[in-house]
Amino acid sequence: MRQIGLILENGFQVMGLSALSAFELANTELGQDAYRMTILSQNGGTVRSTIGVGIETTTLGDMPDTLMVAGIRIPGPLNPELRSYISRAGSEARRVAGVCTGAFVLAEAGLLDGKTATTHWLHARRLQERFPEVRVDEDRIFVQDGNIWTSAGMSAAMDLALALIENDHGAALARNVARRLVVYFRRPGGQSQFSALLELEPRTDRVTRALTYAKEHLRNPLTVEELADAARLSPRQFSRIFREETGQSPAKAVEMLRLEAARAMLEDGRHPMDTVARDAGFADRDRMRRAFVRAYGLPPSSLRRNAAFADAESME
């Protein structure tokens, strides 16, 4: 049985606890207690979240197989005892994981020196400024560098937990756990923290409906007429309202959605370039290449190589 220890501090964010649900459901899928979860804190007793919910914790003791550190809204200096415990985990635990701003805790304990790590994009620059010896990748869902894992914020705790389960028991179990959780099967670690839909920030249901339709039908031509029909507006009305709400033309927004889908497929590394171009709606590789160079300054092949290199480097 593998023990998962999750360290909480006052001011932790409740969503960080979601990772434990994944391990609980892994036990259900396996039909045995493959994981035992313990919630830890420096002094034990009740630890309160940002919304005032209290969680009973156990004092620090024997080192677990996997030590996880939940994020808090405003990371502060570590108590020396807690810093020492987490520092020892780097060599005594099989894995150490920082969820969201938990990366600050790992960095202060010296576990991220010379390593690549991520955190919530809102805090990434501050992490880099406070700990310049850390290679901060602010646009990753999660990062593994040796036995140290870090993740972005909020829902990325679930992606991290699924990745840890896959690391232990394989993709099939992680996929079944994801189904039970009713979440998308683990987003690739290299996937961007940003979403084109969130970046466009539509204000009305009509424009949101058109963008959702576009995301679900990327293989279609997605002309203004097709999108206007999804929004239940005339093409002229749709073009005007769309630009007012998003600041982009419909064609530019569709290209952003196609690029996001293609990039995720490329970073996943399992799809031929022609398949990526077709499924993302670019029609052919050359058109996809031109779009990538415009958006990222690099062709798709370079982004795929960079993702493969980062994954290989994290396994060393």
On whether residue 162 sits in a domain, the answer given is yes
On whether residue 190 sits in a domain, the answer given is no
| Residue 131 belongs to domain spanning | 2-181
Let me know whether 68 and 158 are in one domain: yes
Q: What is the mean pLDDT of residues 214-218?
A: 93
Let me know whether 229 and 291 are in one domain: yes
pLDDT tens for each residue of 6-17: 999 998 888 888
CA dist., res. 156 & res. 175, Å (int): 16
Whether 269 shows a pLDDT value over 90: the answer reads: no
CB atoms < 10 A from the CB of 143, how many? 26
Q: What is the mean pLDDT of residues 56-82?
A: 90
Let me know whether 158 and 45 are in one domain: yes
pLDDT tens for each residue of 68-79: 999 887 777 888
**Among 181, 214, 248, residue at a domain's last position:** 181
37 is catalytic: no
CA dist., res. 295 & res. 298, Å (int): 8
Let me know whether 156 and 18 are in one domain: yes
Q: What is the pLDDT of residue 177?
A: 92
Let me know whether 28 and 119 are in one domain: yes
What confidence category does residue 292 fall into, taking pLDDT thresholds of 50, 70 and 90?
Answer: confident
Let me know whether 36 and 109 are in one domain: yes
The CATH number that applies at residue 262 is: 1.10.10.60
Q: What is the pLDDT of residue 316?
A: 47
On whether residue 191 sits in a domain, the answer given is no
**Among 134, 151, 181, residue at a domain's last position:** 181
Residue predicted with more confidence, 66 or 141: 66
Let me know whether 265 and 148 are in one domain: no
What confidence category does residue 183 fall into, taking pLDDT thresholds of 50, 70 and 90?
Answer: confident
CA dist., res. 28 & res. 261, Å (int): 33
What confidence category does residue 171 fall into, taking pLDDT thresholds of 50, 70 and 90?
Answer: confident
Let me know whether 236 and 94 are in one domain: no
On whether residue 187 sits in a domain, the answer given is no
On whether residue 186 sits in a domain, the answer given is no
Q: What's the number of domains the chain is made of?
A: 2
Let me know whether 176 and 218 are in one domain: no
pLDDT tens for each residue of 189-202: 445 555 666 667 78
Q: What is the pLDDT of residue 86?
A: 96
Let me know whether 67 and 213 are in one domain: no
Let me know whether 205 and 165 are in one domain: no
Q: What is the mean pLDDT of residues 159-176?
A: 91
pLDDT tens for each residue of 36-46: 999 999 999 99
> 3-state class of 38 per DSSP?
strand
**Among 154, 181, 208, residue at a domain's last position:** 181
User: Highest mean pLDDT range out of 71-85, 137-151, 273-287?
Assistant: 273-287
Q: Which tokens go with 76?
A: 């502060």
Cα dist. 227→204, 219, 240 in Å? 14, 13, 13
Annotate 6-33 with b (16+ C-beta within 10 A) or e (fewer). bbbbebbbebbbbbbbbbebbbebeeee
Q: Which of 40, 93, 100, 207 is catalytic?
A: 100
On whether residue 148 sits in a domain, the answer given is yes
